[in-house]
Structure 1
Amino acid sequence: MKTAGIIGGSGFIGSYITKKFLEEGYNVKVSVTDIKKSEKYQHLFNLENSDNLNISALKVEDLEILKDFISDCEIVIHGGTPFQLDVENPKTELFDPTIKGTEIFLEAIQQAPMIENVVFIASVAAYNTNFPLPAGDRKPHDTFSEKDTPFMSEESHPYAQAKFIANQTVENFIRENPKVSFEITSVSPVGVMGKSLSNREDSTSTGLQFLFKNKIAPSPFVQMLYDNDAEMAAVDVADVAEAVFKAATISGLHGKNYLLSSESYPVSDMSLMLNHQAPKNKPNVIYQNTLAMNDLRMKFRPVQETLNNYSK
């Protein structure tokens, strides 16, 4: 039985990844930042095969603890970077844990004796920091694929900038270390939606769905989405977990970064669907998902199905 280490495995996306690996018969190690806050990970013990689950405390900035955590893992998933839209200090809250955390993680995996596959959960921001608005001078319905030149603006949200730089750090590492003994693959999901496996109140993804459903704008960023009726690309959280599992278990994907996206709708339509009403517009596929469908054999759920599963 192989062991998968999942950094950030109790969060919104991470919980589904943990669930998937447990279902597939893996020993699963999940890291949490504070072991005393059991309410953040207790739901994982309700999953199938949770006897094969181990929870341990870890901060990605601590190299020695990180090395110990991954020392017996054949697969490591790095999804432990913060996702938050309301930020007081971008450097300490986003840039340091995201970028420095990635650098330390890359140092750690070079010294791990058993690793076969590493998967980074990047973000659509690795390709477009303006998401969900178009990149640069593109129009809202212009498509974007892995072949397009990534777009980064210092005017974009700090979270998006941090994820972009972290992804560049991974790409530089792959170029500078052509003979590593394991494969590194990244996935870049668009807006991740769906039902949470926990009752946690601190998930940005589920929080954003709550705001859209109830048409609440607690910040200028969310108000901007309403004002522009932004074309929002979405992907089901369970599909992201499926793609991560396949990226970790299909060989020959080293160095690739897959956009994970289903359809795109205006935010006004997402509000309707979250309230179990029909959208007024037909969906587009702005962020192309062909590479993930071909290499990872993915089939993405329709957004209407995903949003109907959100229950709050």
Structure 2
Amino acid sequence: MKKIGIIGGSGFIGSYNTKKFLLEGYYVKVSTTDLSKKEKYEHLKALPNSENLEIVQLKLENKDELKDFLEGCAIIVHGGTPFQLDFTDPKAELFDPTIIGTENFLAAIQNVPKVEKVVFVASVAGFNTHFPLLPGTKKEGDQVDENDPPYMNEEDHPYAQAKFIANQTVEKFIKEHPNLTFEITTVSPTGVMGKALSARKDSTSMGLQYLFKNEIAPNPFVQMFYDNNIDFAMVDVADVANGIFKAATSTGIHGKNYLLSSESYKMSDITLMLNHKAPEGQPSIIYKNDLAKKELGIDFNSARIPLNQFSE
């Protein structure tokens, strides 16, 4: 039984990752930042095959804890960076945990003898910090794919900038270490939708769906979504977990970064669907998923499916 370590394996996407690997017969080690906060991971113990689940305390800035967590893992999924719309100190809350955490992880992973594969769960922000709007080089009607030059604007949300810089850090590491004994692959989801596996209230994806359903804007950034009725690219959280599993168990894809995305809908239509009503418009494909379909074999669900699951 192979051992997989999932950093951030009890979060919104992470819980689906944990469920997928348990179902596929892996021994799964999941990190949590504080073992005393059982409400953050107790739901994992109800998953099928949870007798093959281990939950370990880990803060990425603690190099000793990181070394212990990685020990014995054949596969590592790194999805433990924070995502929050509102913040007080962007450096302490977003930039440092994301960028320094990535740097610490890359330094530590080189000393794990059994590791075969590393998967980074990045973000569409690695391609475009202006998401959900188009990058500055594009105009309405254009599409975005993995061949486009990455776009970053220092006026964009600090979370997006942090994810962009972290992705550049991974790419730089791969170029500087051409003789690694393991593969590194990245997946970059657009807006991840669906129903959480836990009752936690702190999931950003669940929070966004609640805001969109009720047309609530806690800040000017979200208000802009409604004012401009933007096209919002989405992907089913179950498809993200499937993409991560495929990336983790496929070979010959070292250094690749796959966009995971389904359809884009206008914000007004997303609100309708989250309230059990039919959309008035048709979906479009802004962020292309051809590479993930071809090389990872993913058949993406319509964006209506996770929206319906959340609204239920």
| TM-score normalised to structure 2 length | 0.99
CA RMSD of aligned residues (A): 0.7
Q: Distance in 2 between matches of 1:280 and 1:140?
A: 20
Spell out, residue by residue over 1:241-273, the C-alpha distance to the aligned partner (whole angstroms, 9 max, x if none).
Answer: 000000000110100000000000111110011
Do residues 193 (structure 1) and 202 (structure 2) align? no
How far off is 1:166 after superposition? Answer: 0.1
More off after superposition, 56-65 vs 292-301: 56-65
Tell me if structure 1 keeps the 8 A contact 2:26–2:52: yes
1:240 aligns to what?
A: 240
Which position in structure 2 is the counterpart of 1:226? 226
Asked if 2 retains the 8 angstrom alpha-carbon contact of 1:5 and 1:69, the reply is yes
Q: Does residue 41 in structure 1 map to residue 73 in structure 2?
A: no
Shift of 1:139: 2.1
Alignment of 1:14-163 (within 5 A): 14-163=14-163
User: Shift of the alpha carbon at 1:311?
Assistant: 3.2
> Residues 114-147 of structure 1: CA distance to partner in whole angstroms, max 9, x if unpaired?
1000000000000000000110042233100000
Contact 1:189/1:240 (8 A) holds in 2: yes
Cα distance, 1:224 vs. partner?
1.0
Deviations 1:82-110 (A, max 9, x none): 01110110000000000000000000100
Checking the alignment, whether the CA contact within 8 Å between 1:195 and 1:206 is kept in structure 2 is yes
Give the stretch that moved more between structures: 124-133 or 136-145.
Answer: 136-145
Point out where structure 1 has 5 or more consecutive residues left out of the alignment: none
Aligned residues of 1:27 and 1:53 also touching (Cα < 8 A) = yes
Query: Any conservation in 2 of the 1:133–1:140 contact (CA below 8 Å)?
Result: no
SS for the counterpart of 1:294 is helix
Contact 1:141 1:284 in 2 (8 A): no
**Residue 125 of structure 1 contacts residue 131 of structure 1 at CA under 8 Å; is this kept in 2?**
yes
2:184 paired residue number? 184
Aligned to 1:172: 172
Q: Tell me what 1:259 maps to.
A: 259
Which amino acid in the other structure matches residue 11 of structure 2?
Answer: G
Please give the alpha-carbon distance, in whole angstroms, between the structure 2 residues aligned to 1:305 and 1:71. 38
| Residue 290 (1) aligns with residue 290 (2) | yes
Q: Distance in 2 between matches of 1:127 and 1:267?
A: 22
The whole-number CA distance in structure 2 between the counterparts of 1:230 and 1:48 is 39
CA distance in 1, matches of 2:228, 2:71: 48
- Are the aligned partners of 2:194 and 2:237 in contact in 1 as well (CA < 8 Å)? yes
Question: 2 CA distance for matches of 1:304 and 1:135?
Answer: 25
Task: Name 1:206's counterpart in structure 2.
Answer: 206
Structure 1: distance between partners of 2:174 and 2:109: 12
The one-letter code of the counterpart of 1:307 is L
Identity level (%): 64
Contact 1:119 1:184 in 2 (8 A): yes
Give the length in aligned residue pairs.
312
* CA–CA distance in structure 1, aligned partners of residues 45 and 139 of structure 2: 45
In the alignment, is the contact (CA less than 8 A) between 2:185 and 2:247 conserved in 1?
yes
TM-score w.r.t. structure 1 length? 0.99
Distance 1:111 1:265 in 2: 45
Q: Secondary structure at the match of 1:310?
A: helix
| Runs of 4+ residues deviating >2 angstroms | none
